[in-house]
Copies of this chain bind each other. A is one copy, B any other.
Amino acid sequence: MIVVMEPGATEEQIRRVVEKLQSMGFSIHLSRGVEKTVIGAVGERRAEAAQAIEAMPGVEKVVPILHPFKLAGSQFKPERTQVKVGNVVFGGEKVVVIAGPCAVESREQLITVAKAVKKAGADMLRGGAFKPRTSPYSFQGLEEEGLKLLAEAREETGLPFVTEVVNPRDIELVASYADMLQIGARNMQNFTLLREVGACGKPVLLKRGLAATIEEWLMAAEYIISAGNWNVVLCERGIRTFETFTRNTLDVSAIPAVKSLSHLPIIADPSHATGKSKLVTAVSLGAVAAGADGLLIEVHPCPSEALSDGPQSITPEEFDSLMAQLRPVTTAVGRRL
């Protein structure tokens, strides 16, 4: 790390910082400019060390040199990770498309959508059984009944499914049905959940938090990996900005950025990112062209009857058209659908 001392820092203050860094096991390079003294400290990155030094008198700021993540970093593991969910492989040549309703509402709704998205070429099914909702008065999901319906839809279509888990106490239950566990944006820094999902071993779809930096997102992945689970797929689902026309702002640059920083596969969720069904297809094409390893798309047989996220859900017909438009784009970037 680099420690920048304040312009008026005394010799005594500089000496104390140097001693503290040495006592922490860092080797030191001191560099005195006209205005400021800068102390280079070579050693392992630990958040505690940086904060402790930053709190010392005379210190202006501390600049970390190493990324805080290790196991999640491309530095640690240069070859790209492939995550397998049944026969589906994230991070390979094939672009993986996960589709389905925001929430599982009924057998009929789910089976209809599952068959439709299967027919259109989807690889996996999505559907919420435990729903985190902004309002306590909103539909909160069918819970275990929803999981059973998802398993039934898998039976019917052969599509493995991903579903969200929101409570550490439900992990075992959800994992007993699901092929892949989703950590939602609101729980990206629910560290208890991350650790326990990591320990359970099932593949994990880790959505980016609404206001999470790429670094924090990879640190959330680090929680899961450090608990023993390397099967992590990242999902860019839009970040919160000042723009209100769209529900969130899809950070398309995050796709190549994550690929340069990490070995983990990354997919995009244009439904939550835009919040508007009319924008979903264009943004889907853009995300895949920018390198996304897959898509997560909300499809509902009748969006205006949806119990959640209707405005961003597309119909099976629109999904069919999206897949048709996506096919040549995947080819154009050297992949396949």
Q: How many copies does the complex hold?
A: 4
Assess whether A137 is in contact with B47, with CB atoms less than 8 Å apart: yes
Task: Name the distance in Å between A277's Cβ and chain B's nearest Cβ.
Answer: 7
Assess whether A75 is in contact with B249, with CB atoms less than 8 Å apart: no
Assess whether B4 is in contact with A65, with CB atoms less than 8 Å apart: yes
Task: Name the distance in Å between A268's Cβ and chain B's nearest Cβ.
Answer: 10
Q: How far is the CA of A68 from the CA of B308 in the complex (A)?
A: 15
Which one, A142-150, A174-182, A216-224, is touching chain B?
A216-224
Q: Is A163's beta carbon under 8 Å from chain B?
A: no
**Which one, B136, B253, B255, B288, contacts A222 given CB within 8 A?**
B136
Q: Is A294's beta carbon under 8 Å from chain B?
A: no
Assess whether B305 is in contact with A52, with CB atoms less than 8 Å apart: yes
Which one, A88-96, A154-162, A324-332, is touching chain B?
A324-332
- Residue among A214, A215, A287, A311 having the largest count of chain B Cβ atoms under 10 Å: A311
Q: Is A173's beta carbon under 8 Å from chain B?
A: no
Assess whether B290 is in contact with A285, with CB atoms less than 8 Å apart: yes
Assess whether B242 is in contact with A242, with CB atoms less than 8 Å apart: yes
Assess whether B166 is in contact with A169, with CB atoms less than 8 Å apart: no
Q: Is A84's beta carbon under 8 Å from chain B?
A: no
Contact flag A134-B189 (CB < 8 Å), given A214-B245, A250-B252, A287-B286: yes
Which residues from B are CB-within-8-Å of A169?
A: 168-169
Which residues from B are CB-within-8-Å of A9?
A: none
Task: Name the distance in Å between A163's Cβ and chain B's nearest Cβ.
Answer: 16
Which residues from B are CB-within-8-Å of A241?
A: 239, 241-242, 249, 251
Contact flag A47-B313 (CB < 8 Å), given A213-B244, A304-B56, A328-B331: no
A330: nearest residue on chain B (CB-CB)?
A: B332
A325: nearest residue on chain B (CB-CB)?
A: B333
Interface size in chain A (residues, C-beta < 8 A):
109
Q: Is A87's beta carbon under 8 Å from chain B?
A: no
Which residues from B are CB-within-8-Å of A245?
A: 213-215, 254, 257
Assess whether A286 is in contact with B29, with CB atoms less than 8 Å apart: no
**Which one, B31, B136, B240, B246, contacts A253 given CB within 8 A?**
B246
Contact flag A333-B285 (CB < 8 Å), given A139-B48, A250-B253, A306-B52: yes
Assess whether A249 is in contact with B257, with CB atoms less than 8 Å apart: no
Contact flag A20-B186 (CB < 8 Å), given A33-B65, A54-B310: no
Q: How far is the CA of A66 from the CA of B309 in the complex (A)?
A: 20
- Residue among A192, A209, A283, A286 having the largest count of chain B Cβ atoms under 10 Å: A286
Within 8 A of B (CB), among A23-44: 29, 31-36, 38, 40, 42-43
- Kindly list 12 other residue pairs between chains A and B, CB separation below 8 angstroms, not including A240-B242, A241-B251, A249-B253: A2-B2, A33-B66, A38-B42, A38-B65, A51-B309, A55-B306, A168-B169, A186-B189, A250-B252, A285-B291, A286-B290, A332-B332
**Hey, which bits of chain A sit against chain B, CB under 8 A?**
2, 4, 7, 20, 29, 31-36, 38, 40, 42-43, 46-48, 51-56, 63, 65-66, 68, 75, 132-139, 166-169, 186-187, 189-192, 195, 209-211, 213-216, 219, 222-223, 226-227, 239-246, 249-257, 260, 273-274, 276-279, 282-283, 285-291, 303-311, 313, 325, 328-329, 331-333
